[in-house]
A = this chain, B = another copy of it.
Amino acid sequence: MSEFEESGIGEECGVFGCVAAGEWPTQLEVAKVLTLGLVALQHRGQESAGIVTSNGVNPPTYNTLKGMGLVNNAFPPENLLKLRYGNLGIGHTRYSTTGISELQNCQPFVVDTLHGKIAVAHNGELVNAAALRKKVMRHGVGLSTSSDSELITQLLALTPPMEELDAPDWVARIKNLMHETPTSYSLLVMYTDVIYAIRDPYGNRPLSIGRLVPISKLHTAGAGEGETEGWVVSSESCSFQSIGARYYREVMPGEIVQISKHGVKSLSIVPRPEGDLPAFCIFEYVYFARPDSIFEGQMVYTVRQRCGRQLAIEAPTEADVVSTVPESATPAALGYAQQSGLPYVEVLCKNRYVGRTFIQPNTRLRQLGVAKKFGALTDNFTGKRVVLVDDSIVRGNTISPIIKLLKEAGATEVHIRVASPPIRFPCYMGINIPTKEELIANRPEFEDIAGYIGATSVRYLSVEGLLSAVQGGIPPLQGKDERINTKASRSVGHCTACLTGKYPVELEW
C-alpha cells in the first residue's frame, strides 16, 4: 500500500473512447465497451463517471449517462439501455481534487455549437487555466463550472468565430487550442462520427490506442485489419484485455489522431518549443498506472521491478527477508529480492473491506491507525530482520504504525526501502499532492526520518536511479533476458517536477 492510496492522492482522471468499425448500425454495443473500459480505468478516478454516445449520422443523436461514484453505481443497467444505439462514444472517470463533488462537474462535457454538438473528455490540468478562463469570459462567455473541460469546449467553439455556411475545421480549432495551452492534457473530442484523440506536446498524460478483434483471434497474430471490429482509445492499455482489444500504439506527444469507422489516422503533430524534451509524468510509472499497462513500449510492472532492483543496488541491506506493503509495492519488492538475493516473503495481510468503513473511530480505535487494516503474518518474520519496500512516502504518517506493528509482532529490525525519491514540490499538471508544508521531505523530521517513523533505517531511490530504471539504463539480471519491446516509443524525457522542482514549462502566477 502506497501512502498515496492512504492519503487520497490521485490522478485527475481516466478517458476512454470507442468507435465501431465497418457498417453502422453496429452490433458492437459501444456503451458496454465504454462501461467496461471505464471499469478498467477505475483506479484513475472513483468520484463520478460519464459516457456520451453518438449514433454517428448527421445531425447526430447524442445520449449521455452520468452518475456519482464507481462506474457500476453510476450506470445502473436500466439506464445503459438508452445508449444502446450508439456507434461511437467517449467516457470519463473522475477523481475529485477539490473535495466538492458534484454531478455537474462530471465529464464528458457536451455543448451545442452553431454546427452541432461536441463532447469532450479530459485527463490532466491546464497549467494556464486561470488566464484562459479570463480570456474566455472577456469574450462574454459565462462559465458554469470550474472544470478545465468546460473551458476546453468553449475554447474550441470560440476560436475562430464560427461561420454558418461551412462546417467547422475542428482540426484547426484543436491546433489553436494546443497553441493556447502547452500542457497537460490527454483529450478526446467527439463530433458526430469521429473521435479526435489528442496528447499535449509534452506528452504529460498517457493515451493509447487499441484494436477490437474477434475474441477468438485476440491473442493470435492472424487477425488482419479486415477483421477489425472497432477501435478504442484509453488512458491506459490495461483496459484493452478486459474488452477484447489488442494493443495498437500510443498517441505521440503533440499528436492529433482521428478515429473513425474507417480506421485510425494521424492528422498532425504539434511540436514542442525547440530544445524542450517530452515530459511524461514519471509517477504514472511509480504509482498511478495499473501494472499491466504499457507506456513507451514497456510494461509498468517491469519498470517497477527495475526500480526495486535499482534500489537494491543503491541501498543494499543486511537482512533476512524482503517484503512489501501490499499491494502496489509488490513488483518493486520482488525486484529488490531478485537483485539482493534475499528471500521474498509476505509479512502483512490486508483486509480489503476495512477501507470502506464509515464509522467514526473512538480514541481507542484511532490509536490503531492504519495498522487496523493489516494482519501480521508473524510466522514469516518473527525473530527476523525485515526489508520492507514501499513505493513512496508522502506525509510519513502511514508507514509508522505498520513498522510498529511488525516490530511488536517480533521483527528484530525493519528497514524501509522506498522505490522512488522523496516528493518535495507541488504538481500543477493534474496530480493532487499535499501542500509543501505537509510533505515529510520538506519538514525537519526528515533529517532523522528513520527515528521519526520508528524504522531501523530508511533509504530512498535516487532521482537518477529512478530515471535509469524508467529509461532502461540498468543492467539486466544475471541470466535473465528481460524482454524489451523493440518498437518502443520510449521518449527521452520525463517530468520529475514533484521530485526536482524542474517544471516542463515556465509557470506564470
Residues of A that sit less than 8 Å from B by CB: 28-29, 32, 35-36, 39-40, 42-43, 70-72, 75-77, 80, 103-104, 109-114, 118, 133-134, 137-144, 146, 150, 153-154, 156-159, 161-162, 164, 215-216, 218-220, 229, 238, 241-244, 290-293, 299, 301-302, 330-331, 334, 338, 343-346, 349, 351-354, 356-362, 364-365, 367-368, 371-380, 382-383, 405, 408-409, 482-483
Separation of A316 and B445 alpha carbons in the complex (Å)? 51
C-alpha gap A376/B77 in the complex (Å): 28
Contact A357/B142 with A290-B351, A371-B241 known, Cβ cut-off 8 Å: no
| A142 and B161 contact, CB distance less than 8 A | no
| A–B Cβ pairs within 8 angstroms, 9 of them | A36-B357, A39-B357, A111-B143, A137-B162, A138-B164, A141-B157, A242-B354, A243-B368, A292-B349
Contact of A42 among B39, B40, B291, B353 (CB under 8 A): B353
Contact with A357, one of B72, B150, B334 (Cβ below 8 angstroms): B72
- Cα(A133)–Cα(B141), bound, Å: 13
Report copies per complex. 4
Which residue of the partner chain, among B36, B42, B76, B114, contacts A365 with CB atoms under 8 Å? B36
Q: Quick check: A242 and B39 within 8 Å, CB to CB? A: no
Is the pair B241, A378 in contact by a Cβ cutoff of 8 Å?
no
Interchain CB contact under 8 A, A359 and B80: yes
- Assess whether B368 is in contact with A111, with CB atoms less than 8 Å apart: no
Among B32, B154, B373, B380, the residue within 8 A (CB) of A301 is B380
Q: Is the CB of B153 within 8 A of A40?
A: no
* Interchain CB contact under 8 A, B142 and A153: yes
Q: Which residue of B lies closest to A76 (CB)?
A: B358
* B35→A359 contact, CB < 8 A: yes
8 nearest A-B residue pairs (beta carbon): A219-B408, A111-B142, A292-B375, A140-B158, A142-B157, A215-B367, A42-B353, A242-B372
Contact A344 B344 (CB under 8 A): yes
The residues of B that contact A362 with a CB separation of less than 8 Å are 29, 32
